[in-house]
Amino acid sequence: MKNLLSFVLVGASLLVASAAQAQEIRVRADIPFAFVLADKVYPAGVYAVETAMANTNALYIHSWGGANPALLLTNQHTSFEPSRQSKLVFNRVGKTYFLSQVWVAGSAVGREFPKSRGEVELARNVAKAETVAVAANISH
């Protein structure tokens, strides 16, 4: 019983620590090309990406006017150095851009979107994928 209680306390403290590390994201970017996110195509335009709820991995993305909203779970992605600028990172496979990551200036922890089925299938047929970054501004 004592071991079970210790195990539960350690697990709970790890959950609290990971939730405390969740970062607030509020960025805006003018994306000059159409892109895919979760197998949905978004037209070029100004988009906002925001933390959906405090201490969660869910991000809310929508065009600047509020259209084309999506709520998606992300994974934490870490870097050895803090990002020098806020940015959205895309994987370009052939002629198609897939939103991959979101970074906030000064943070070594970014958010990564899971690869969609379409991206995985297209990548099988294309020899080389490229990474493209679009600068973003922090929204208030």
> Coil, strand, or helix at residue 59?
strand
- Residues with Cβ within 8 Å of 54's Cβ and at least 6 positions away in sequence, in order, are 22, 24
Q: How confident is the model at residue 130 (pLDDT cuts 50, 70, 90)?
A: confident
Determine the pLDDT at residue 22.
55
Determine the pLDDT at residue 31.
96
Q: Is pLDDT above 50 for 5? A: no
**What is the distance between the alpha carbons of residues 115 and 38, in angstroms, rounded to a whole number?**
7
Determine the pLDDT at residue 68.
79
Phi and psi of 89, rounded to 5°? Answer: -110, 135
- Residues with Cβ within 8 Å of 108's Cβ and at least 6 positions away in sequence, in order, are 78, 79, 80, 81, 82, 83
Model pLDDT for residues 85-127, shown as the tens digit of each residue: 999 999 999 899 999 999 999 999 999 999 988 888 888 887 6
Higher pLDDT, 52 or 7: 52
> Coil, strand, or helix at residue 110?
strand
Higher pLDDT, 36 or 17: 36
* Residue ranges per structural domain of the chain: 23-138
Average pLDDT of span 31-52:
93
Q: What DSSP character marks residue 113?
A: P
**What is the distance between the alpha carbons of residues 65 and 137, in angstroms, rounded to a whole number?**
16
Q: Is pLDDT above 70 for 2? A: no
Determine the pLDDT at residue 86.
94
| 103 contacts 74 by C-beta, under 8 angstroms | no
Model pLDDT for residues 14-28, shown as the tens digit of each residue: 333 344 445 789 999
Instruction: Give me 36's structure tokens.
Output: 């895919």
